[in-house]
Amino acid sequence: MQQLKNDLLLRALRKEKVERPPVWMMRQAGRYLPDYIKLRDKYDFFTRVQTPELATEITIQPVQQIGVDAAIIFSDILVIPQAMGVEVLMEEGKGPSLPHVIKTQKDIDALRTANIEENLSYVTKALTLTKQELNGRVPLIGFAGAPWTILCYMVEGKGSKTWDKAKQFCYTQPDLAHQLLQKITDVSVTYLKAQANAGADALQVFDSWSGCLSPGDFKLFAQPYLIQIADALKNIAPVILFPKGSWYALNELSESSASGLGLDWCISPKIARELTGNKITLQGNFDPAKLLMPVPKIKKAVKEMIDEFGAQNYIANLGHGITPNVPVENAKAFVDAVKEYKV
C-alpha cells in the first residue's frame, strides 16, 4: 500500500483532527484548464475518457497546476448506461444525448448487467495508472452517478431542467422505475468496488438531479439506492454522497454508512451542521459563479465559508462543478485560500 504524502482528505472523512481542511473542486480535471482544452481540440470526449493515458494526464493536471489535495479520475457518469448497452452521444457544448430511451419492461430486460468490470476496464486502468503517476502525492477519488440521476438520462434521453419524462415514468410505472433503479444500483456497486480495487482511495456518488424530487419522492426513488451503495462500500472505501439540492435529506443521510455529504450553495453551513448534528463530514459549498469575483474577494469569501463550517469534519469544495469560464488564477486563489486558512 502506497504511503500518502498528503492524506488530509482521508483524515477529514475519518473525522480525524486536521491542521486545515482539505480542498478539491468538482470537475477540476477539465474545461477551464488551457492544457485540457488542447487535448479536447485533439480528441473527442469518449476518446479522452476511454484512453487511460489521456484520462490520467487530465486527472493529474489540476494537482500540478492548481495544487488541490485530491485528484478525481477524469471520466463521466454516463459510462454506466454505456456499459449496460445504452448508446450515449456527447457533442461538445451540447451535453449528452441517449437516442434510445427506456420506456418498457422489454427495454429494462435488455439492459446488460454482466461483464461490467470488463466493459469499464478503461476506467480501472486509468485509476491504476493515475495512482502510479501520483506516487502518493494526494489521494485519488473515483466516482459514479447516482441511480436516480442515471435513470433521468436513460428515460429522458437528454438533459432537462424539470425531468418531466423521468418523473412521469416513475409516477405512472413505479414498478418498472424500481426495477431500473435496482439494476443501476447493482451495476454501480460492482463498478465502484472495481474502482476501489484499482486504486481509488475514496468514492463519490453524484446525484446531480435529485433536487428536482420532493422530499417524499426522494425518499422513494433516490435515498434507498444511495444508502444501498454506501452500505455495500462501507468496508472498502469512504463514500461521499452528493444529492444536489436535496437538503431535506441531510439528516437521514447523516445516519447512513457514508463518510461525507456534499452540499450545494443553497444551504447555509450552519443549517447543514444542525441537520447532520456534526455526525458526518460535510463537503462544499462555494458557488462556482463566485470564482469569477476578483481574487481578494474570492479569498475573503472562502475564509468566511470555512469559518462557518468549522475547519474540522469538513472538505472545502464547490457546490457544483467548476465552469469553463473561470480563470485558472481564480481557481488557484480558491485553493490557496483554503491552504492559507489558520485553524
- For the chain, how far is it from start to end, CA to CA, in angstroms? 30
Task: Give the separation between CA 247 and CA 264, rounded to whole angstroms.
Answer: 9
Number of domains in the chain: 1
* Model confidence pLDDT, tens digit, residues 205-250: 999 999 999 999 999 999 999 999 999 999 999 999 999 999 999 9
Task: Please give the grid coordinates belonging to residue 84.
Answer: 449496460
Is the residue at 50 inside a domain? yes
Digit-coded pLDDT (tens) for 170-215: 999 999 999 999 999 999 999 999 999 999 999 999 999 999 999 9
Binding-site residues, please? Answer: 27-31, 46, 76, 153, 208, 320
Q: Mind telling me the catalytic residues?
A: 27, 31, 40, 76, 153
User: Is the pLDDT confidence value at 120 over 70?
Assistant: yes
pLDDT of amino acid 343: 83
Pick out the residues of the known binding site for substrate.
27-31, 46, 76, 153, 208, 320
59-87 per-position pLDDT tens digit: 999 999 999 999 999 999 999 999 999 99
What's CA 316's distance to the chain center, in Å?
14
Q: Which residues contact 247 (CB under 8 A, 6 or more apart)?
A: 263, 266, 267, 271, 272, 275
pLDDT band with cut points at 50, 70 and 90 for residue 93: confident
109 Cβ contact partners less than 8 Å away, ≥ 6 residues apart: none
State the maximum Cα–Cα separation within the chain, in Å, rounded to a whole number.
Answer: 58
Domain assignment of residue 15, given as a range: 8-339
Distances (CA, A) of 194 to 81, 115, 174, 232: 17, 12, 30, 12
**Domain-embedded: residue 3:** no
> Residue 218 is part of a domain; what is its CATH number?
3.20.20.210
Q: Given this model, what pLDDT does residue 256 score?
A: 98
In a domain, 2, yes or no: no
C-alpha cell at 249: 435529506
The answer to whether the CB of 185 falls within 8 A of the CB of 282 is no
Instruction: Say what the pLDDT of residue 100 is.
Output: 97
The pLDDT mean for the chain works out to: 97
Let me know if residue 86 belongs to a domain: yes
**Alpha carbon distance 180, 106 (integer Å):** 11
Q: What pLDDT score was predicted for residue 91?
A: 83
Check residue 2 and report its DSSP letter. Answer: P
Domain membership of residue 268 (yes or no) is yes
Band (pLDDT 50/70/90 cuts) for residue 1 is low
